Structures are given as C-alpha cells and as structure tokens.
Amino acid sequence: VVVWDPIGGPIAVSVAELLAPDRSVAFVTQDLIVGTQLSRSGDLADASTRLQQAGVVLHKRSRLRRVTATAVTVEDAFTGETREIAAAVVVDGGHRLPDDGLWRDRPELPRAGDAVAPRTIYEAVLEGRRAALALDAGAA
Amino acid sequence: MTAGRHRYLFSPLRLGPVTVRNRIAFAAHLTNYAEDGHPTEQHAEYYEARARGGAGLLITEEHSVHPTDWPYEKLIHGFDESVIPGYRRITEAVHRHGVPIFAQINHNGGQASGMYSRLPVWAPSPVADPLFREVAKEVDHREIAEIVAGYARTAEHCARGGFDGIELQCSHSSIVRGFLSPATNHRADAYGGSLANRARILLEIVAAVRQAIGPQRALGVRLCGDELIEGGTTIDEAVEVARMVEASGHVDYINTSIGVATATLYMIEASMHIPPGYALFIPSTLRKAVDLPVVGVGRFKDPIQAERALADGHCDLIGVVRGQIADPDFAAKARSGHADDIRLCLSCNQECVGRMGLNRWLGCIENPRTGREAVPLPPPPRRGRRVMVVGAGPAGLQAAITAVERGHDVTVFERADAAGGQVRLAASVPNRAEFGDLVRNQLAECAWAGVSVKYGVEVDVDFVRDEAPDAVIVATGAAVERPYWAPPDATHVVDVRQVLDGSATPEGRVLVVDEVGFHHATSVAELLADRGCTVQIVTPGMVVGQDLGVTLDMENWCVRAAAKHITQTTDCLVTGLGDGTVTLMHHPTGQPREVAADWVVCAVPAAPAEQLYLDLKALGSIDVYRAGDCVAPRRAHAAVVEGQRAAVAL
C-alpha cells in the first residue's frame, strides 16, 4: 500500500499506522519531514518514530506523479528524478473539496464547516455554532 | 553633495503626481513591528531612519484590506479606521526629510490560514496553498465586490493618513495573484478562464482605488513576472497584464517580483547562494512592453550594481531592501562618494527574513540598531576610558565600534594575523564568501572611527596588567570540542574548523556529522565534495541543516547536494569508531548501522574560550566584560548584539 500525503497532517499518518501491522506500507510526501504539521500538536517526532518502528518505508521529498495498476511513479522534489514504488493500492491523503451541492441549490441558506471549505473539527464546531446563533439573531 | 559616478541612480523621476529625488526605493517588506493590527512608533522610527539616510521612495509593508486576511499575527489591519493616527505618525516622520512614502495594500487570499482570523480564507478557487495547506473558500460575486470595496476603503484610510501613494501587491502573496494565476484560478465564470477574465478583479480594484485616492496620489501595481510553480504565471502573461494595467489609465508605475511567497520564497528573498540581478529579466521585459516606470528588485546590495541596471535600461527604480535594512544611510553614502563605507548586506537572511518566519521583529545580523530604532541606547555615563578589546571576531569588533562611538579610546588585540574569527573561516567556502562582508564592514567602521587593531598578540593576565586599561572586553570566541566518541588519537576525526583553516585535508570517503543544523556541516560537505571526496552527512535530527529552512537556503542546498552526490542520512547518532568505519544508531528504532569512512568531520557544539575572562574576573581589580562565543558559542548575530551590549555597559 502506498499512502500519499501532500498535507502533512494527522490523517495520512494515522492511516499508515492503521495499515502497517498487516501490510507493507510506503509513505510518500514531498516534504523533508513526515507529518510536518504535527509539530503543532507536539506529535511530530513521535509520529515519525511510530511509523518507522512499525516498518513503514518513508519516501520523503517525493511527489506522486503517476499511478498504475501495480506501481506509482514518484519524482524527487529537488532533482526531478523519477522512480517507481510497487503498489497494489494507493491511499490518497490529499485535500478534499466541499460537498456543497445542497447549498448551491439554496445559496440563501447558511452553511458551516467543511461544506464551506474542508478544514478541521475546530472550524466545523465554530461555524456550526455561528450558524445556529445567526438563526437566533434572525428570529429576534 | 554630488551624485558622483552614480549619474542614473541620483536623477529624479516622476511617478504620476509624485516626484522622487533618486531611484533608490525602500521597497515593501514585512517587519513584524505592528501591535494589535496597528502601526507602531517603531514603524515610524524605522522608516524615518531610511528617509533620513537618503532613500528616494519608501513603500511600507502590506496593510490588509479585509478581516478575512490575517495570515500572520503582526499584520497591519488597514481596513480598520483606527490605524489612521499611526499612519500619520509614520508619514509625518518620513516627510520631515522630504521623502515620499507609499502604502502597500493587499489581501493575501488563499495564501493564509484561518488560525488568526477564525474565518475561512478567501480565494478564487478551493485550492489549498502549498505552505498553509488549508482549503480556501471560493469567493462568490458578492464577496469579490466586498474585496474590491475593502481595497478602496483601505486606500482611503491611507490617503487620510498622509501617504503619497498606494501600491497594490498583486505579485507573490495576494488574492489578485491568485486570480491572475492559472495554477490557482479554476473558475468558469467572468473571473476565470481567459487572461482578461482572470485580470478582471485587478482592473476593478485599480479603478476603485484610483477613485478613492483621487489624482493627487500615485498608484502602483506590483506584478509577478514568473511564479516558478507548475502551471503558474510566466513572463508572457505578466507582460499582457502590465499592458492592461497601463491601458486602464489609472496607474503611475509598475513594481515587479519573482516567485510565490508560499511556494518559492527562496527566490523572492534570495540568499547569497543566488547571483545578484537574478530577477532583472522581469522589469527588463516589462519595461519594453509599457511606458510606465518599472521597479526592479532582487538582491541589489551595491550602488554600482544598481547604477548599472539603470544605465542598461532594465528598470527605472531599484528596490534596495536588505541593503537599507543593514545600512539606513545606503543612499546618502553612495551619493556623497562614500560607497565604500556602506555596511553591505550579506544576504545571509539570518536576522531579517529568518526572524520574520519565526514571528519576531525584523533585525539585521550586522546592524544591532535595526529593529531597535525606537529604543534609544542609554547615554554613556562617562567617556574617555581606555578600553582593551581581546579578540577581533564579530563580537570584539562590534564592541570596539560601539565603544568608540560612545567616546572611549579603544584598542583591539587579536591573536591571529587577520580579523574575523570563525566568520573568516565560514566565508572561505566559495559560495559563502559574502558572509565575510560582515568583518570587512566592521573593519571599515573601525578604521573610520579610529579603532586600532593589533594582530599577532596573545593576551594573558600579565599583558593586561602591563597595559593597565580602564576596562577589558573579552571576546575570545569558542574552542573546538571533540565529541565523546572521538578519542584524541583518532586523527582522522576532525572539526569543520580544521578543514576550513587547512590544518586537516580529508580525502576519500568522508562522513560529516551535523549536530549544529546550520551552514557548518553543509558548507564543508560541499567544499569537500568539490575537492573530490565522497561525502555523506549524518544527523540525529529529522533534517540535515535543519535551520537552513529559516534562511531560505534549504531548497537550493538540497539541489546542490544532489548535484554533488552528497548523501543525507537523518535520525542517526554516532556511537563509535571502528577500523575505517563509523557506527551509527538509528534512534527511532534503536538499530545500529555501520558506515565506511576514511575521515569524519564534525560540526558539533563548541566550548566557550572563557579562561582569560575567568582569570581577569578572579583578580577582582579589573573592570572586565565578555561578549559572543566566549559567553556561550552561538551564531554571529549573538556576537554582534553582545559586543554592542558590552560596550554600552562600559
């Protein structure tokens, strides 16, 4: 399994940890450090250690360029050199898009959280609360 | 005063309703001097110093036009009317010296996160920025109108605050850049698709801002000539946008930029590893396409270099930012024929660019007053003391300069036959040579100020007793410290300083041990690779040269290292030496490894060379101070700052 992580947050790292006990996992990121944004939560070094102790092979400074049925092609972020990594499955840990079809049909309605722009739970809770308070304000 | 050999540099230029007296612009750059979204007294003093120093035009750092734009803590909230008194303080200070000052206004768009604003970031399309990595909210037409209105409102605040002009930053971190760039604008409406559509918001902003500021103030647009990203804006589209901007009839000049701040910042604020003039093709190309004056930027650090760019017709104004951060009197010294006295910028990026990335106020490695303009030094309680400075490294020389400025009689004694200490060694690596300007600049200041520097003098307690100074400043630097795993008879294990001073000449397979995380290991690795060695760097850290990211040197180091076949091994400690081998431990797993090596070169923490200070202090009869690495081995900025502090303490 190849896990592709262009974000560096907790999602791809935790997916790799989940898969590692039973599968051969390769972790691909364009960054010099795996899970680079985990520094905010204090898990940067620990996550790197856990992945390596679990046998996850780290492919740092590598960009995912091509996926076939049996392999992925990655490109070195600095030299542009390419190489192949065998892969039966690729897990995309990349960015998401808002699921906003309902809102687009009724744009006058408030929306909150990932339907505005996919971010973290914090923004979802904050904007959910704001949307609810806006209803109260409207009623008043 | 005479323009001397800088005929073009010191000729006036009209920018619409504003005339600048020379072609040296202090272009916009972040300072982190703002507090709670407001400009401060430090802003006023900082800009005033550069106006007093002869700059032709000042352009402030960016002011945000909308509450959705807050990518870093200390951003000026120009959309808030309460900034106007701070604006007036800045403009009045600068105008006292007859220099015009423009305000740069901006919305950073998707090149941000909601960390400070607690709002979704706004962008033309839901594309995550490569640095902030937050998916943006795609703005609708109502929000686009709100952005345009925010620009106009902020421009009006700037006009009321006394600014002489407005610059729209549409170049390297901007929602306008986001709209212009095919890499970040995926829209299918009237604001996406064709270049005319992608430029629509820019032209709407230009018209709205011109209406807000009227004809009496200048309006400039800063454009990116090459984003240096896949699918991004290149020079051909930049030319077309420049033509559209000119055709609007609202704009008085065009400024230029290269790169994207959140993807290729290392090319915007290039360090000494990028040749000067590297971005000159952009103004040069735009200037051929439009009649508006064009500003050129990109590591202009010398007035002769700037004069040449003007004389060759590449641009009409030169943005000298780091050059004037290092020396506020850059322009005045050039104009008066004293260009040799300019404290040349090193392009090291350590205390200017580097501190910005760390959310600290802007400073300068070689000018301890930069960033402290609003905090005057205390007046000297007494003058005329005979001061002995021991050591002619950056700490000792700065102590001497400051002590002389404060009225003391100073002599510097240096053990070696040249000044500079470790700076001299560091600058001996060919692509680090500009770092040596730190010492050259300090020696020039010493000579100008009348400091006597004596070389080849070993100072001990008896020597101090014989000289009988009123005070001694010890700046004796740091000594090499061997790591615990390297016994004294392991002659093939050496320090980077021994390689640089020529006392060790490694050959064959070389393992460089990086426990410092800066240029020490990487520059020596390059030097040895250039000499034909097979080089591997190992570090216990997660990245080799981890602090190179702060100075924007990481990307190009990695490129050069790959070209020189230098291998980088992370997460490993050296635990012992074998016969032609080095034993490592991969600390995340505890697994040992063996590496074949003919030589081991160590970039490891040094020890303070503090014995003279301790001996003098123990006497109890001598007024003694210390500064720099002999306190604790650190980097050059600490030496310079402490040299000044020691002199002030006299």
List pLDDT tens digits, range B125-167.
999 999 999 999 999 999 999 999 999 999 999 999 999 999 9
* B543/A116 Cβ within 8 A: no
* B133/A32 Cβ within 8 A: no
Q: Please, are residues B10 and B3 in contact by the beta-carbon 8 Å criterion?
A: yes
Q: Cα–Cα distance between B377 and B397 in angstroms, integer?
A: 18
* A8/B543 Cβ within 8 A: no
Contacts of A78 in chain B (CB under 8 A): 555, 558-559, 562
* A8/B571 Cβ within 8 A: no
- How many A/B residue pairs have CB atoms within 8 Å? 61
Q: Cα–Cα distance between B182 and B240 in angstroms, integer?
A: 14
pLDDT confidence bin for A34, thresholds 50/70/90 = very high
Contacts of A53 in chain B (CB under 8 A): 588-589
Residue A40 region by backbone torsions, left for phi larger than 0, else alpha for psi between -120 and 50, else beta? alpha
Q: Which residue of A has its CA nearest to B117?
A: A123
Q: Cα–Cα distance between B451 and B59 in angstroms, integer?
A: 37
Residue A136 pLDDT > 90:
no
Nearest by CB: A116 against B120, B128, B558: B120
- Chain B closest-CA separation from residue A89 CA (Å): 25
Query: What integer pLDDT is reported at residue B4 of this predicted model?
Result: 65
Query: What integer pLDDT is reported at residue B5 of this predicted model?
Result: 78
Average pLDDT over residues B619-642: 97
Average pLDDT over residues B234-259: 98
Contacts of A117 in chain B (CB under 8 A): 120-121, 126, 134-137
Q: Cα–Cα distance between B27 and B606 in angstroms, integer?
A: 39
* A96/B562 Cβ within 8 A: no
Alpha carbon distances (Å) from B20 to B15, B110, B250, B312, B534: 7, 34, 19, 20, 55
Contacts of B137 in chain A (CB under 8 A): 116-117
Q: How far apart are the first and last CA of chain A?
A: 55
* A76/B126 Cβ within 8 A: no
* A33/B126 Cβ within 8 A: no
Query: What integer pLDDT is reported at residue B72 of this predicted model?
Result: 97
Nearest by CB: A95 against B128, B137, B588: B128
How far, in whole angstroms, is CA B281 from its chain's centroid? 22
Residue A89 pLDDT > 80:
yes
The percent of residues above 70 in pLDDT, for chain B, comes to: 99
Query: What integer pLDDT is reported at residue B213 of this predicted model?
Result: 98
Q: Which residue of B has its CA nearest to A118?
A: B135
Nearest by CB: B135 against A32, A107, A117: A117
Residue B23 pLDDT > 60:
yes
Question: Mind listing the pLDDT tens digit for each residue in B496-536?
Answer: 999 999 999 999 999 999 999 999 999 999 999 999 999 99
Determine contact: B128 vs chain A, CB below 8 A.
yes
Q: Please, are residues B58 and B44 in contact by the beta-carbon 8 Å criterion?
A: no
* A98/B135 Cβ within 8 A: yes
Q: Cα–Cα distance between A119 and B114 in angstroms, integer?
A: 9
Residue B2 pLDDT > 80:
no
* A7/B128 Cβ within 8 A: yes
Query: What integer pLDDT is reported at residue B143 of this predicted model?
Result: 97
Q: Cα–Cα distance between B60 and B57 in angstroms, integer?
A: 10
Query: What integer pLDDT is reported at residue B588 of this predicted model?
Result: 97
Query: What integer pLDDT is reported at residue B1 of this predicted model?
Result: 43
Contacts of B586 in chain A (CB under 8 A): 52
Q: Which residue of B has its CA nearest to A50?
A: B588
Residue B609 pLDDT > 80:
yes
Q: Please, are residues B583 and B593 in contact by the beta-carbon 8 Å criterion?
A: yes
Question: Mind listing the pLDDT tens digit for each residue in B44-96?
Answer: 999 999 999 999 999 999 999 999 999 999 999 999 999 999 999 999 999 99
Cα dihedral: B263, B315, B329, B411 (round 10) = 70
pLDDT confidence bin for A139, thresholds 50/70/90 = low
Q: Cα–Cα distance between B443 and B421 in angstroms, integer?
A: 13
- Mean per-residue pLDDT of chain B: 97
- Chain A closest-CA separation from residue B281 CA (Å): 24
Contacts of B357 in chain A (CB under 8 A): none
